[in-house]
Amino acid sequence: MTGGPGGEPATLYHFTTADGLQGIVEKVSLWATDAEFLNDSQELQFGRPELVAALTAEADRIQYGAAEGGPDYARGAVLRSTAETLRSGAPPAAKQEHLVHVACFCAADDLLSQWRGYGAGGGFAIGFDRAALAALPPIHHRIDHSDEHVHGDPLTVHLVQVRYGPEAIDPAIRQVLATLAPGPVGHPGATGWIRTQTVALPALAGIKHPAFAEEQEWRLLVAGEHQSMKFRIGPAGLVPYLPIPVPASAVVEVVIGPGGHADLRERGVRRLLWHYQLHHVNVRRSVAPFRG
């Protein structure tokens, strides 16, 4: 693994099972999981009370002495609506299509904790070119309003580096306030709801409890209105996800996880890549002495 500009990794690794590897190679796409269904029980909750308090305080500051109905009052009302939406928790059923979705990567290419999580029967780490992930275009899709299919606004895909611990909370709050406070406003309730989904929740998806710091995680985040979700089966039942198309050239490496039948697993990977004409992809084995 080599470094990119500013010390950023040139390659990011997605740890997965044999099924996951097969699906990604065959479809040349990633699955972005609804963030509420990820394995961190504090997902989208870490830093949330602090963000709610900061949004409320900024709304109070902006609205202090402002004429009701004026632009400053409206801006404060949007911040207050965003805070209330975050405080209320899960959105109503009619708004489930607005949630943030996440595809996860690791800066480390041979991390034992990841092999333990994905190594049952032999896991794999798929290396993706970081610059290619950062340059992914918006996802075009269709949404359904009043039984009429219309083209929705493209869903922007953002690559972010996850930050960990209490020290990550204040920068995330400043990012949200800098984006929300100066902006133009529409109806405060509707605008606050949209900005919760497109600004506040993605910011929370970029920070995590320090217990996860070993993962050195990067994430592709997708947020916005859509009805393109699909479902897969996970440990807790049905899991919503969005497919994110990626160029075949973005796949640069496959690391074969520790475990038995290493020779056969490597041959299977090489034949899979060859069949789908991914001849440029490097294949190597983990050096971790883990039996799986």
DSSP 154-199: PBPEEEEE-EESGGGHHHHHHHHHHHHTTS--SSHHHHHHHHIIII
Mean per-residue pLDDT, 256-262: 89
The residue type of 53 is A
For residues 228, 185, 134, 276, the Cα torsion angle rounded to the nearest 10 degrees is 10
Higher pLDDT, 19 or 184: 19
Rounded Cα gap, residues 288 and 230, in angstroms: 35
Residue 250 phi, psi dihedral angles, 5° rounding = -70, -25
pLDDT at position 152: 56
How many Cα atoms sit within 13 Å of 251 on the Cβ side? 26
- No. of H helices and E strands in the chain? 9, 14
Cβ atoms within 10 Å, residue 68: 8
Highest mean pLDDT among 53-57, 66-70, 153-157, 227-231 belongs to 53-57
Worst-scoring range by mean pLDDT, 150-164, 210-224, 272-286?
150-164
How many Cα atoms sit within 13 Å of 201 on the Cβ side? 26
What would the two tokens of residue 146 be?
Answer: 């009043």
Rounded Cα gap, residues 278 and 281, in angstroms: 6
| Residues 224/98, Cβ–Cβ less than 8 Å | yes
| Residues 257/286, Cβ–Cβ less than 8 Å | yes
Mean per-residue pLDDT, 30-54: 92
Q: Is the pTM of this model over 0.95?
A: no
Rounded Cα gap, residues 195 and 90, in angstroms: 15
| Residues 251/61, Cβ–Cβ less than 8 Å | no
Smallest Cα–Cα separation from 205: which of 97, 90, 104?
104
Reply yes or no on whether the pLDDT at 273 is more than 70: yes
- Using CA atoms, how far residue 212 sits from 52, 163, 196, in Å, is 23, 10, 25
CB-count exposure of residue 258 (10 Å: 0-12, 13-18, 19+): buried
Higher pLDDT, 57 or 149: 57
Reply yes or no on whether the pLDDT at 171 is more than 80: yes
How many Cα atoms sit within 13 Å of 247 on the Cβ side? 12
| Residues 13/117, Cβ–Cβ less than 8 Å | no
Residue 147: pLDDT band (50, 70, 90) is very low
Mean per-residue pLDDT, 45-64: 94
pLDDT at position 146: 46
179-224 pLDDT tens trace: 887 665 666 667 777 888 889 999 999 999 999 999 999 999 998 7
